[in-house]
Structure 1
Amino acid sequence: MKILIVDDNYQIVETISDYLELENNIVDCAYHGEGALKLIEDNHYDVIIMDIMMPKIDGISAVEKIRADLLCGTPILFLSAKDTLDDKIAAFKAGGDDYLLKPFAMEELCLRIQALANRGQRKDIGILSFADIQINNQTDEVCRDDQVIKLSRIQLKILKLLIRQAPNIVTRQQIMETIWGDESPCSDALRSHIYGLRNAIDKGFSESRLETIHGQGYRIKA
């Protein structure tokens, strides 16, 4: 089982991580919501353990983005010292699947994780689509007119960004900042990825979907 732990308390993260790894789980760690979102974009997890009070992006906001923006249906267990009914309601409304109060027994945490993993991915979340293109966000399978299309990791990220914004234009700068952050490559690298993406999703179809808007950027059109 692959598990993501998100908590700004390094000691708690280390304690949970060590225990779960002894149980033969694979564990990734993030210390704020922003870091969690980046890991979730590039990995598939069986369960996500999420603290609420964190810097940059708190747990509630992070889960809202995980569900609405990343379309990730991975079960999420909130860990928190906040014990009011309003706190719990906010966590479940954001998209959480379970809520465990701190402090807690590791045995109980493990039982809850196993129960969530057995439940599997949420079926009400996970399909990103526009026109005749669909992306299964749980498997990263891309289809156009029910035909499976193979994309590289970077091409897939670019397509997800374009579909989320479709039919609006996404600038070259927005793409580079979203995909590569502060380590943006030269513009030739982006052109190469766009060329490959266009060949993958448009070749063999009567209508093209990926459109270049000269001097502005790119978009997916209907």
Structure 2
Amino acid sequence: MRLLVVEDNQNLVANLFDYFESRGHTLDAAPDGVTGLHLAVTQAYDAAILDWMLPRIDGQEVLRRLRDEYGSGLPVLMLTARDELPDKIAGFRAGADDYLTKPFALPELEVRLEALVARAAGRGRSRTLEVRDLKLDLATLEATRAGKPLHLYPACRKLLETLMKASPAVVTREQLEYALWGDDPPDRDMLRSHIYELRRSVDGPFDVKLIQTVPRVGYRLAPEGGGAGA
């Protein structure tokens, strides 16, 4: 498994790395919620281990944004000292797939993560996004419109994925910049350039235009008066 550990206790992180790497797993670590969210939406992981009490933004907010803003199905296990029933309910409602309280046994954590990954594989996390006649296969990263392949640069593909997951809702410029560059975006001309290239590929040859500008806010993906497809 490739795992993301979002935890600010460095001793615990070291113990997790020692155990899981010795078992053949690969790990990345983030010491705060903002870094953890950035890695979760820009890198490919089988599952994430998420603490509740984190610097910058807490685990609940990480989960909320991961699920609601980015539409991510990444399996997430909350690993926290908060062991009261209301805390567990709040964690699951925020989007956690499993919840384990500290202290814990490392073998139990491992089997719980293996179960999450197996369930995710069974429900087919790699799926196809569809908005009208536009499709994006998240497994192969192939995009088509009306059956015709679209040739997209990686940045344009990431923008398209973000817009399709949110469609028909508006995605702010800040959210798109974060999807591409995390907390260190360049000037906004770069985003405009990528949107221009994306429009050329997605809308250029077609009569119905899908990418709409929402003045002073951001962009949305849907024809005028329409919504997302299946």
Query: How high is the TM-score relative to the length of structure 1?
Result: 0.80
User: Higher mean Cα deviation, 20-29 or 122-131?
Assistant: 122-131
- What residue identity is the alignment partner of 2:64? E
Per-residue CA deviation, residues 11-38 of structure 1 (Å, 9 max, x unaligned), is: 1112102221121111111122211111
1:128-207 to 2 correspondences below 5 Å: 130-135=131-136, 140-145=141-146, 147-163=148-164, 164=166, 166=168, 168=170, 170=172, 175-176=176-177, 179-180=180-181, 183-186=184-187, 189-207=190-208
Give the Cα–Cα distance (whole angstroms) in 1 for the partners of residues 214 and 69 of structure 2: 24
- Matched residue, 1:54: 54
Q: Displacement, 1:199?
A: 2.5
- Please state whether the residue corresponding to 1:78 is helix, strand or coil: strand
Q: CA deviation at 1:139?
A: 6.3
Decide which moves more: 202-211 or 137-146: 137-146
Q: Which runs of 5+ in 2 are unaligned?
A: 224-230
Paired letter, 2:40: I
Unaligned runs of 5+ in 1: none
**Kept after mapping to 2: 8 A contact 1:73/1:138:** no
Identity of matched residues, %? 37
The 1:128/1:67 distance shift into structure 2, 3 A limit, reads farther
**Residue 38 (structure 2) aligns with:** 38
CA RMSD of aligned residues (A): 3.2
Q: Secondary structure at the match of 1:120?
A: helix
Structure 1, 205-214 or 47-56: larger mean CA deviation: 205-214
Aligned match of 2:21: 21
Task: After superposition, give the CA deviation of every residue in 1:93-139 in whole Å (9 maximum; x if it has no partner).
Answer: 11112111111111111111112122125849877654443445676
Q: Please say if 1:7 is aligned against 2:7.
A: yes
Report deviation, 1:217: 6.3
Structure 1 stretch 178-187 or stretch 104-113: which is displaced more? 178-187
Q: Is 1:111 aligned with 2:108? A: no
Aligned partners of 1:77 and 1:113 also within 8 Å: yes
SS, match of residue 185 in structure 1: coil
* Residues 1:67 and 2:51 aligned together: no
Distance in 1 separating the partners of 2:139 and 2:57: 23
* CA displacement at 1:184 relative to structure 2: 3.5
Contact 2:170 2:214 in 1 (8 A): no
> More displaced, 198-207 or 125-134?
125-134
Q: Which amino acid aligns with 1:57?
A: I
Structure 1 residues 90 and 141: CA distance shift in structure 2, 3 A: farther
The residue type equivalent to 1:11 in the other structure is N
User: Aligned equivalents of 1:150 and 1:75: distance in 2?
Assistant: 30
Aligned partner letter, 1:2: R
2:5 maps to a residue whose letter is I
TM-score (norm 2): 0.78
Indicate conservation of the 8 Å contact 2:6/2:49, yes or no.
yes
Alpha-carbon distance between aligned partners in 2 of 1:174 and 1:93, rounded to the nearest angstrom: 23
The answer as to whether partners of 2:129 and 2:135 remain within 8 angstroms in 1 is yes
Q: Say whether the 8 Å CA contact 2:211–2:221 is kept in structure 1.
A: yes
Q: 8 Å contact 2:4–2:45 — kept in the other structure? A: yes
